[in-house]
Amino acid sequence: DAEITQSPRHKITETGRQVTLACHQTWNHNNMFWYRQDLGHGLRLIHYSYGVQDTNKGEVSDGYSVSRSNTEDLPLTLESAASSQTSVYFCASSASGGDNEQFFGPGTRLTVL
């Protein structure tokens, strides 16, 4: 069965370190998205991609970057982790030309000390 996976599921890091969160999907979806979820804010879009070599900034992109070298993966990098980036991170994907239905990975809980 097609799926979307994220790793690690839990991560503790220190302020200033670079952190990369992995997202891998086997749906063969062109569209991939990264969100963060914080209490009271719901899901906020960090970065998204519509295909290989395409990346775009979302509403809360400062301090984050992504790259898309293949269809299956969209890793999210925190260049220099800050305590404000402590959050739960979700990756999602959707088909191009479809009805915008997004399917989510299990999430990564990141703590920055």
Partner 1 sequence: QKEVEQNSGPLSVPEGAIASLNCTYSDRGSQSFFWYRQYSGKSPELIMSIYSNGDKEDGRFTAQLNKASQYVSLLIRDSQPSDSATYLCAVSPSGGYNKLIFGAGTRLAVHP
Question: Under a CB-based contact definition with an 8 Å cutoff, are residues 74 and 68 in contact?
Answer: yes
CB of 106 to partner 1, least distance (A): 5
Under rule CB under 8 A, residue 87 binds partner 1: no
CB of 29 to partner 1, least distance (A): 10
Question: CA 18, 22, 28 angle in degrees (round to 5)?
Answer: 150
By CB under 8 A, which span of 18-26, 65-73, 78-86, 98-106 interacts with partner 1? 98-106
To the nearest 10°, report the CA torsion of 67, 73, 78, 83.
150
Under rule CB under 8 A, residue 22 binds partner 1: no
Binding mask 46-65 for partner 1 (x = CB under 8 A): --x-x---------------
